[in-house]
Amino acid sequence: MPFPKDFLWGVATAAYQVEGAAQTDGRGASIWDTFSATPGKVANGDNGLIANDHYHRYLEDIQIMKDMGVKAYRFSISWTRLFPNGDDVREERGFDFYDRLIDALVSAGIEPVATIYHWDLPQPLEDIGGWANRAILEPFENYARAVAEAFGDRVSRFATINEPWVMSWLGYGSGVHAPGETSFDKAIAASHHTVVAHNRAYKAIKSVRPNALVGPVLSQSQPDVDDISDPKQLEAAAIFDAFTNLFWMDGLFKGEYSQRVLSLYGDRLSKLIHEGDLEVVKNDWLGVNFYFNTRIGHEVSADHPSRARFIDELAGFAVESQAVGTLTDMGWPITPYGLGDLLVRWTREYGDLIPPMFVTENGVAYDDALSMDGLIHDDRRVSYLNDHLLSIESAISRGADVRGYFQWSLMDNFEWAEGFNKRFGIVHVDFDTQVRTVKESGKWYAKVIETNGECLTKRFVKFS
Ligand code: GBH
């Protein structure tokens, strides 16, 4: 039986995407409050002021998870609920909320897995430069320690920073996410600071909770080249891999950046590295978030509308990157083989340097409506999840040590710059009434959990 007996079947959400209650119980403003209040930044002018009202409805949401048989819930903690100004002044009502949430999870028999930072930086910290400023390190370390002190008696597993690539490159490089900066220098600085912040947070957490299991959560995507006989495509793919995947894999697990990264970034990176920054910590686990592989095609003109983002500026030439095949509501392709390939790749290329892996996010946006029969027949989501789970199963049989899977997301929620129209949930949410309806995929996932993956449809899918 390929999925290990105690495989951790979970679901995931993040604070700003589900909690709402943005002005309740002393919560301070984060960069996502500012960003979504800025016209033109988020589709339809949506924001997280109310979202799923999870802050008030968490008991109902936990009941849904319990009924589904979910074994673990990966949620994130809102920094500005605990420290509204990002300094050391506590807001006890914020701590109380997570106490209630965690206690309810524990009594429902669901393991709480807490992400310390899922993109909602206190606005006052952004005002002094945010992640692009090294001054972020101390407040982040203090915040992580406070989280571990407060909740580490019941939360055994902590993720530090969710998807540092997205946070750095979409937040500070393309400006698609908060804080909306468009500076490569800042994106590179933020990238390095996430590595150092992770290492420091790891130590801070361990200093107060030695038994806590701490790990990074990385968004990863393999490049799929159209033509491997084209050196330009191979170079673009290697650059993509370096700035997306290897920057963090090497930075966190080898304590160094590759020659390619160092030469791509030059002194924009090297001037930031202080003594001790890259000292490797003994991570307890690695979280991989996977949605799709990225296509790399032939060279195109510098202003081509579907050129690969970031590569053009880093490489000095642009390549076609339009996804092919059936696309999801996000416009993303469906490449299940990519997930297993990544898990096997780290196993083979990093060996003992990497700890046990968890797929900490995987899911798909489809806007399937309520049918006449009162059900939501999201067959396409079932198929997506089925094939990605098969890919994990295949990776396990090829030697990858994968211990758990967190479906993204428990329920439809605020999809960042895309607002509420992009629905990733296995539970449907009516945002006018807050009524939750378990989709057919949610019922299917319950069966997957119950059978520990035995009920997956073993259709033919290509896994390399
Ligand atoms: C995750 O991020 C988030 O952690 C989660 O909060 C979010 O709701 C969920 O996924 C669904 O979007 O085309 O250049 O932008 C998004 C993961 C990583 C997917 C980067 C797209 C491609 C790079 N993303 N990836 S780019």
Task: Return phi, psi of residue 262, to 5°.
Answer: -65, -40
pLDDT tens for 235-254 read 999 999 999 999 999 999 99
Q: Where are the domains of the chain?
A: 8-451
Residues 178-199 pLDDT 10s: 999 999 999 999 999 999 999 9
Torsion on CA atoms 11, 16, 17, 21, rounded to nearest 10: 110
Ligand 1 pocket member 162 (CB < 6 A)? yes
Indicate whether 212 pLDDT > 70: yes
Mutate to test the pocket of ligand 1, among 177, 291, 335, 388 (most ligand atoms within 8 A of CB): 291
Q: Residue 463: what pLDDT?
A: 57
Distance separating alpha carbons of residues 181 and 222, to the nearest angstrom = 26
* Residue 1: predicted pLDDT: 58
Query: Residue 352: pLDDT band by 50, 70, 90 thresholds?
Result: very high
361 counts as catalytic: yes
Active site residue 91: no
Rg (CA), the chain: 21
Catalytic residue among 163, 181, 320, 393: 163
- The amino acid at residue 87 is D
Does residue 394 register a pLDDT over 90? yes
- Residue 459's pLDDT band, with cuts at 50, 70 and 90, is confident
221, pLDDT greater than 60: yes
* Ligand 1 within 6 A of CB of 176: no
Whether the CB-CB separation of 240 and 225 falls below 8 Å is answered with no
3-class DSSP assignment, residue 390: helix
Distances (CA, A) of 48 to 74, 86, 253: 19, 19, 35
Cα(11)–Cα(178) distance, rounded to whole angstroms?
A: 25
For residues 361-377, average pLDDT: 97
Whether 221 lines ligand 1, by a CB cut-off of 6 Å, is yes
- Rounded average pLDDT over 282-303: 98
pTM value is 0.98
Q: Is the peptide bond before 30 cis (omega within 30 degrees of 0)?
A: no
Ligand 1 atom closest to Cα of residue 170? 15
Tokens representing 106 are: 């524990």
Residue for token pair 């491997």: 228
List, as one string, the DSSP characters of 255-314. SS--HHHHHHHTHHHHTT--TTTTPPP--S-EEEEE---EEE-SEE-TT-TTBPTTHHHH
Q: 8-451 belongs to which homologous superfamily?
A: Glycosidases (3.20.20.80)
